[in-house]
Amino acid sequence: MASTSTNKQPLLVDNVLHSIVDLQGATVEQTSVITIGGSNGAKLIVDCTSNDGAIIGEIYALARETTTAYTINLYFASTTTQLSPGDALFVGTFNGGKTEGIKTVYAALPYVLNPVPGVGSTDSDIVIGTQFQALYIPKGKALWAAVKKQSANDTATKAPLLGVHGGFY
């Protein structure tokens, strides 16, 4: 292979990525987990619409003081201005914590072919390496997030912070 080759080896990314977004006010309606309505306050988390994509090794929430944990929904879309119902593709959901500062991790990352940093286990009884679990954001897509309203009038003033880290290709 020539020294000018641009082929990327596993674990090599062009730029490290660590983004934290405040989900305060970023709401979707209570009625459905997967389908979103036209009026939503979803926030853009990672934009890969104009690069070669990204790999996300961890998605986590940092809770604010609240009595009920917010449900966080993740979506893919082709747009970066507003999450529209016709463009949104549901990725997954998890609950943020109820105690201020508590970190909750999205544990349903899919399996990928290339390894990512992370050799731990998700269960202390069953040792399964997590180095092959990550969320791949393909070229031309963006990752969005929103919290599910806890009541019809909820404005999500105590919604958690959402963090992701990985790298851009």
Look at residue 71 and give its three-state secondary structure: strand
Question: Is residue 3 in some structural domain?
Answer: no
pLDDT score, position 1: 45
Q: Which domain does 60 fall in, by range?
A: 15-168
Question: Is residue 39 in some structural domain?
Answer: yes
Q: What is the pLDDT along the chain (169 residues), one digit of tens a residue?
A: 445 555 555 556 778 889 999 999 988 887 766 777 667 889 999 999 998 889 898 999 999 877 888 999 999 999 999 888 888 899 999 998 888 888 999 988 888 776 666 555 555 555 555 567 889 999 999 999 999 988 888 888 999 999 999 888 8
Question: Is residue 67 in some structural domain?
Answer: yes
Question: Is residue 161 in some structural domain?
Answer: yes
Question: Is residue 10 in some structural domain?
Answer: no
Q: What is the DSSP string of 123-143?
A: -SSS--B-TTB-EEE-TTEEE
Question: Is residue 130 in some structural domain?
Answer: yes
The residues, ordered by sequence, that sit 6+ positions from 17 with a Cβ below 8 Å of its Cβ are: 46, 54, 56, 164, 165, 166, 167, 168
Asked if 116 and 166 count as a contact pair (C-beta separation under 8 A), the reply is: yes
Question: Is residue 26 in some structural domain?
Answer: yes
Question: Is residue 7 in some structural domain?
Answer: no
Say which CATH number the domain at 48 has: 2.60.120
pLDDT score, position 93: 93
pLDDT score, position 7: 54
Total tally of structural domains belonging to the chain? 1
pLDDT score, position 168: 87
pLDDT score, position 109: 87
Closest by Cα among 21, 122, 37, 133 to 72: 21
